[in-house]
Structure 1
Amino acid sequence: MDFRLYLITDRRLVADLPGAIDRALAGIPRGTAAVLLREKDLGARALHELALACRAVCDRRGAKLFLSDRADVAIAAGAAGVHLTGGSIDPADVRALAPGLLVGASCHTEAEIAARSDADFALYSPIFPSPGKGPAIGLDALRSAAACGLPLFALGGVDAANAAACIEAGAHGIAGIRGWLAAPDPAAATEQLLQTVLSATSAAFPQGGSPPPMTRPRTLC
């Protein structure tokens, strides 16, 4: 798992979601970002059609595509993985169904991280104040959660101005919705975010980058 940006979708913000994804990925190297298709109001058929269109873009740009909760649609669309929310099935159930799928999870507490410790990575949020996301948990909570060993993507009010602080606190990468999807120039926005993340990583780990996240020892939080 080498991507550092996790780009979450909300098709209500744009007229052409696959086009917006294409523009956002155009400014960054292949493999440095993944896309989470989070369109929970769509039925299976409409979601599958959208997933196919987004996967074509992601394949062309070298980005992994994840689907929120719907492992069945992820499999049918040939996505790289599925992202599990609080009411989802366990990662072990996904692996039994589709051993090749990567599994992400949404977490807000260290207890939730412990419960999802067999996922490949997790979103941890909200780090900073963000509309509709509840009280911010802050950088100290992120730092403590990162010690559990599960690679974390910081979400919630994260932008180019504070992304470095998230990396310094132990986040593997950053995630967002409006920060890239609603930007006037999505390519410039993702390029700036990625550069911030990579620069912060180099500063935090001057010997050549962070330890491989999949080999970090995991602890029970």
Structure 2
Amino acid sequence: MTNKYELHLVTEESVPLEKLLPIIEEAVKGGVTIVQLREKRSTGKRFYEKAKSVKTLLDQYAIPLIINDRVDIALTVGAAGVHVGQDDLPLSSIRKMVPSAMIVGVSTSTIKEAQEAERNGASYIGVGSVFTTQSKADANLLPNGMLAEIAQAVSIPVVAIGGIGLNNMQLLPNEKIAGIAVVSAIMKAGNPYKVAAAFRKVWI
């Protein structure tokens, strides 16, 4: 059975929908196992329309769609899940709002945050930033060895995020984490299919 957390594609908001859909489709064909639609500045209506289009595409491949931050949009489009940060709605409140089967991911960077997320019902945690990243200006770099320590401290799946590329993947403690989340390496690739396939090959 495929581990659905193995290779997350996290989208880049600046890419227009007509370019975004082909990138996602090629990446999925190449081996992406889950897609997180991340929008920080879009209006609710624009985010909703984009989410609807992305979900229609992903449904053809039975790939889960995760919506970043917006629980209302995740519920409205019937997404598989939602991913929230430390400054978003509390996880305990989100769990009361969503179906019990819904995936809820939480961004964490410390053991305390990770254990709290697990206690409050997170399905998985995103841990980062593991490397320097261009796609999130405010991301703090994890201290050396922290990713492995966090993975050891919880029993839910751990997904590494932040500056991950084919050139630095071998530095990750693969045996301790469930998967990786990639933004720029796939979103800015000339051939998203080829890059996604290469990530899967290195991971396996």
TM-score under structure 1 length normalisation: 0.81
State the distance in 2 between where 1:121 and 1:145 align: 12
1:9–1:36 CA contact under 8 A, matched in 2: yes
Equivalent pairs: percent with the same residue? 24
1:159 corresponding residue in structure 2: 165
| Residues 106-133 of structure 1, C-alpha deviations (whole Å, 9 max, x = no match) | 1111121122112011111111122335
- The Cα RMSD (Å) is 1.9
Mark the runs of 5 or more structure 1 residues left unpaired by the alignment: 199-221
State whether structure 2 residue 125 is matched by structure 1 residue 122.
Answer: yes
State whether structure 2 residue 12 is matched by structure 1 residue 10.
Answer: yes
1:182 corresponding residue in structure 2: 188
Mark the runs of 5 or more structure 2 residues left unpaired by the alignment: none
CA deviation after TM superposition for structure 1 residue 35, in Å: 0.6
State the distance in 1 between where 2:15 and 2:128 align: 21
State the distance in 1 between where 2:97 and 2:126 align: 22
State the distance in 2 between where 1:48 and 1:134 align: 26
The correspondence of residues 62-101 of structure 1 with structure 2, limited to 5 A, is 62-99=62-99, 100-101=101-102
Alpha carbons of structure 1 residues 13 and 115: separation in structure 2 relative to 1, 3 Å:
same
State whether structure 2 residue 194 is matched by structure 1 residue 191.
Answer: no
More displaced stretch, 47-56 vs 159-168: 159-168
Task: Read off the aligned partner of 2:28 and give its amino acid letter.
Answer: L
Alpha carbons of structure 1 residues 148 and 82: separation in structure 2 relative to 1, 3 Å:
same
CA deviation after TM superposition for structure 1 residue 165, in Å: 3.0
Match of 1:142 among 141, 147, 157: 147
Corresponding pairs, count: 195
State the distance in 2 between where 1:124 and 1:147 align: 12
Task: Read off the aligned partner of 2:146 and give its amino acid letter.
Answer: A
RCO higher in structure (CA 8 A, sep ≥6): 2
State the distance in 2 between where 1:172 and 1:139 align: 19
2:128–2:140 CA contact under 8 A, matched in 1: no
2:34 corresponding residue in structure 1: 34
Aligned partner of residue 12 in structure 1, secondary structure: coil
1:139–1:169 CA contact under 8 A, matched in 2: no
Alpha carbons of structure 1 residues 70 and 170: separation in structure 2 relative to 1, 3 Å:
same
More displaced stretch, 163-172 vs 56-65: 163-172
Alpha carbons of structure 1 residues 130 and 108: separation in structure 2 relative to 1, 3 Å:
same
| Residues 75-125 of structure 1, C-alpha deviations (whole Å, 9 max, x = no match) | 100100000111112223222111231100111111211221120111111
